[in-house]
Amino acid sequence: MTKEFKKINIPSHPLNDGNSIPLLGLGVYKTTDEKDMHTAVDAAYRCGYRLFDTASVYGNEELLGNAIRDLDIPREKIFLTSKVWNNAQRLGDVSGAFQRTLDRLGTAYIDLYLIHWPVPGCTRQTWRELIRLKESGLARSIGVSNFSPAQLECLEQETGVVPVLNQIECHPLWRQGETVDYCQSHGIQVQAYAPLARGAYKDREILIKIGEKYGKTAAQTGLRWLIQRGISVIPKSVHPSRIAENADIFDFALTEPEMTAIDAMDEGLRTAHIPQDLVDTEWAVLTD
């Protein structure tokens, strides 16, 4: 018997191009087992998830596309995000990489296509290619990931086109205040990957105590803190019970003192690594 889950009404947030994005979605990073993907996607959909986030470098776009098709629902019911990887940028093969993503996902369009990392010497041209994809209608919205305020400003100055979204690592142990503030003051939606910090704050006393007040876990409390900052989240899991738990964060609100207390947890903890091909470069600076 298929287990039933509480269906959550996940709100959406408007993007600066007139489209909108769900405030919570399922990240599928490292999900490369076919059974796990199908289980996760099915459970997520039944819980109310409509946003699914992947990337070419994850090696699972085809698995995700198959799992979504098995839901047997109209394509427009799903919001799909994928990303162009660094080597495609260096080879000048952004449009080819995008077409391969479409083919693997088995879809005619992508709801949101992102530059995965800013690659020195490539990022301006990559952004111009994404603008063309947006103009063609094949990518409904375009954005970036792991970009600093300076890099975001550079793109706008070069093209006049502001990304709709910047996907960054963000959680109570690394609040990314400067980048979040810049994005929100320039109409760029912030989306947090690794919003649970790979489990690094699940045992933190302050989050446990605040969560107990609302009948929530430390993880749910951390996710709620992000949502109340106006940041969308894409927690990753292949476990149906955890997927359901992560979505159950829209029936309570943290107080201002609670938000401030969680703000103070920031210790600049990065849990996601910088790709090896960027480690020895000045990846934080755009150069042509």
The per-residue DSSP string of 69-86 comes to: HTT---GGG-EEEEEE-H
The per-residue DSSP string of 104-129 comes to: HHT-S-EEEEEESSPPTTTHHHHHHH
Alpha-helix residue ranges (DSSP H) falling in the chain: 34-47, 61-69, 86-90, 94-105, 123-136, 149-159, 177-185, 205-214, 218-228, 240-247, 256-263, 276-279
CA proximity to 28, closest of 55, 62, 66: 55
Cβ pair 195, 234 in contact under 8 A: yes
How many CB atoms are closer than 10 A to CB 204? 18
Tokens of 243: 């997927």
Residue 74 burial (CB < 10 Å; 0-12/13-18/19+)? exposed
How many CB atoms are closer than 10 A to CB 2? 8
Determine which one of 45, 49, 58, 182 is catalytic: 58
Q: What is the rounded CA–CA span in Å between residue 214 and residue 261?
A: 16
Per the annotation, the verdict on 58 as an active-site residue is yes
Which residues are within 8 A (CB) of 133 and not within 5 positions of it... i.e. 6 or more apart? Answer: 95, 98, 113, 139, 142
Quick one: residue 255, left, alpha or beta (phi over 0 = left, psi -120 to 50 = alpha)? beta
**Residues acting as catalytic residues:** 58
